[in-house]
Amino acid sequence: MNAGPNILMIFSDQHAQRVAGAYGDPYAQTPNIDALAALGVVFDNCYAPSPVCTASRMSMLTARHPYRQQVWTNDDMLASNLPTHAHALGAAGYRTILIGRLHALGPDQYHGYLERHVGDHSPNWPGISRHNMGVLAGANDPTRASLQRSGAGESAYDLLDEATTSAAISRLADIATARKNGDSQPFAMTVGFMLPHAPYVADEADYKRFLDILPPPRIPADNEETEHPWLAKWRNNRDIRNVSPDEIKRARAAYYALTYRLDARIGEVIKALDDNGLRENTLIIYTSDHGDQLGERGHWWKHTFYDDSVKVPLIVAGDAIKGATGRRDQLVDLMDVSASLCDLAGAPALPGADGRSFAPLLNNPDAPWHNRVFSEYCMDAAPAWSDGEAVQHRMLRDGDWKLNYYHGYPSQLFNLAVDPDELRDLASDPAHSEKLQSMLKILLSNWDPEAIATLLRDRISEKILIADWAKQTQPDDVIRWPLKAEQNRLNGNRHETD
């Protein structure tokens, strides 16, 4: 039997790295995340492989860049023959368990996990009627409705996380009972939470904790004439050019409240680990799939390469790291999380992985490391928010420098050592033309935006056929949490306007 550590991975959705006490936010109330950080290693520069849910999550599973696994959009399907870290851990003798969110579309709703409980709230297939958010319709998507329909109330997403928490606690108790009966198989459990993903709607008591203490966004919005042209087009298309102060205040307070509630759920799961005597020899990881911009620069949700959107928390703690603590400023990403899980567990390395194991950094902050990460945002023209334009964007962070490439638009270049807020675009500065060209060469190596555009365009007809098939045949969802419209409530019944 594998003698590697048990693994508890807690994976949230849309948690901006900075909104946590452990990352220096004076307003966030995240005592359980902070306690975990105090016991382990905190990574200050962890990036998402994509600022979109499914692309980021599938890259985390496979340790491959989105372009290599060909999952860029939320309606792309990860091929079942691509091995994930769950496959590798299972091959090493682990009992692999997923509770809650996966956000994978298609027939494979396991991708290497042996067990799955609770499930996602959305259907397994395209073409099936989407979940009905009731009075919060549209508030979970990148639409102005998410700001208009914000504030105190209740979101079904919080109830889904409640079910996920209960299932995780129950499964940990079952594992403890099996241990008492002689079962020594190590477990690798992923607990997938929805929060703090929009809707920006939270329990009233939680909401009131933050409503009158949060300041407005720190970085003002650019005007349309000076803003990067693609970013300006995105803001116009999403109708977030003129967001009211009340919308901003409500949405930000709700997001902090959702983060507070997420933290409480994390605390419940970790307490269950302790109460069942399973903390010893267990590796605990907390991270998220991408961030949220919360009104900074006039932007909301994700979809950009600004750090608020693409940087995520990453905390690694537990006996398996032999008492390692402190902060690490090396550049890592979610693909590295998968590679590290396999390494720390003594599991087979994932074939063809782009991720690298950061295990040496845990106990030696000076261990050699290549400080370079990428992120991709590529979309076809099918989603309602595309405005009919397919995009091929890629980010490269190389040391202190960040390059944002927008195919068909100007690039952005930032020196984060002197400009951590990404306010001074140096791409057009002749003094930095050599740096721009050298980074462009790296970014475009093995990444062809025209080929990606063609592939995404050609796939549209395939997606339509699968969706038509599912609509006509109504295949069963393998595992799905039953979201109901009436589970969503907005105090005051606010709808379209303030």
Give me the average pLDDT of each 10-residue run along the chain (498 residues): 87 98 98 98 98 98 98 96 98 98 97 98 92 96 96 98 98 98 97 98 98 97 92 95 97 98 98 97 97 98 98 95 94 98 97 97 96 97 76 98 98 98 98 98 97 95 95 94 97 58
Which pLDDT value is given to residue 307? 98
In angstroms, rounded to a whole number, what is the distance separating the alpha carbons of residues 403 and 411?
A: 7
CB within 8 A of 51, min separation 6: which ones? Answer: 290, 291, 302, 303, 304, 305, 309, 310, 375, 377
SS3 of 393, please? strand
SS3 of 442, please? helix
Asked if the structure places residue 440 within a domain, the reply is: no
Asked if the structure places residue 44 within a domain, the reply is: yes
Asked if the structure places residue 395 within a domain, the reply is: no
Q: Which of 143, 150, 172, 332 is nearest to 235 (CA)?
A: 143
Asked if the structure places residue 254 within a domain, the reply is: yes
Asked if the structure places residue 279 within a domain, the reply is: yes
Angle of the 245-275 helix axis to the 31-39 helix axis, nearest 10: 50
445 burial type by CB count under 10 A (0-12 exposed, 13-18 middle, 19+ buried):
exposed
Q: Which DSSP letter does residue 129 get?
A: P
Q: Which of 325, 328, 354 is nearest to 339 (CA)?
A: 354
SS3 of 306, please? coil
Beta bridge partners of 399: none
Which pLDDT value is given to residue 498? 46
Count of structural domains, the chain: 1
CATH at residue 204: 3.40.720.10
Containing H/E element for 47?
strand 41-47
Which pLDDT value is given to residue 436? 98
Following DSSP, what letter does each residue of 208-226 receive, concatenated? Answer: HHHTTTPPPPSSPPPPTTT
Token pair 């979610």: residue: 334
Asked if the structure places residue 455 within a domain, the reply is: no
Structural domain that includes position 55: 6-371+477-490
How does 468-489 read in b/e, with b if 16+ C-beta sit within 10 Å?
eebeeeeeebeebbebeeebbe
